[in-house]
Amino acid sequence: MPRVSCRALVLVAVVLVAGKVWAQGTAADPRVRLREGVKREDLDAEAQKTYDFVVNSTSPHRTGLPAPIGMWMWSPRMADHILPTYMYLRFGTQLDIRTKELAILMAARYDGSRVQWGTHGENARDVGVEQRVIDIMANGSPLDGLADKDALVIRFGRELFGDKRVGSETFARAITLFGRKGVTDLAGLMAFYEFLYLSSNVTFDLESSTKWPALAPLPVASPPRRRALSSVPADINPESRARLPRVRREDLDADGRKTYDAIVNPKTPYRDGLPSPIGMWMHSPEMAQHVLPAYMYLRFGNQLGTRLTELAILVTARELDIQYQWTSHEPVALKAGLEPAIIDIVKNRKSPAGLGEKDALVIRFGHELVGDRRVSAGTFTQALDVFGTRNVTDLAGLMAFYEFLYLSSNATFDIQMPPGQKPLLPLP
Hey, which residues does 237 pair with through a beta bridge?
242
* Verdict on whether the full-model pTM lies above 0.85: yes
pLDDT tens digits, 395-426: 999 999 999 999 999 999 999 999 999 999 99
pLDDT tens digits, 18-69: 333 333 334 589 999 999 999 999 999 999 999 999 999 999 999 999 999 9
Compute the average pLDDT of residues 190-214: 95
* Distance from C-alpha of 72 to C-alpha of 82, rounded to nearest angstrom: 8
Model pLDDT, residue 230: 55
| All domains in the chain, ordered by first residue | 90-209 (1.20.1290.10), 249-290 (no CATH), 302-413 (1.20.1290.10)
Q: Are 408 and 281 in contact (CB under 8 A)?
A: yes
* Distance from C-alpha of 399 to C-alpha of 198, rounded to nearest angstrom: 9
Of 186, 162, 228, 196, the residue nearest 72 (C-alpha): 196
* Mean pLDDT across the chain: 91
* Distance from C-alpha of 397 to C-alpha of 367, rounded to nearest angstrom: 14
Please say whether the dihedral angle defined by the alpha carbons of residues 264, 265, 267 and 271, taken in this order, is positive or negative: positive
Task: Please determine, for residue 298, whether its predicted confidence score (pLDDT) is greater than 70.
Answer: yes
Compute the average pLDDT of residues 80-90: 97
Model pLDDT, residue 219: 66
Return phi, psi of residue 287, to 5°: -65, -45
Model pLDDT, residue 220: 55
pLDDT tens digits, 125-166: 999 999 999 999 999 999 999 999 999 999 999 999 999 999
Model pLDDT, residue 216: 86
pLDDT tens digits, 325-382: 999 999 999 999 999 999 999 999 999 999 999 999 999 999 999 999 999 999 999 9
Model pLDDT, residue 92: 96
Task: Please determine, for residue 186, whether its predicted confidence score (pLDDT) is greater than 80.
Answer: yes
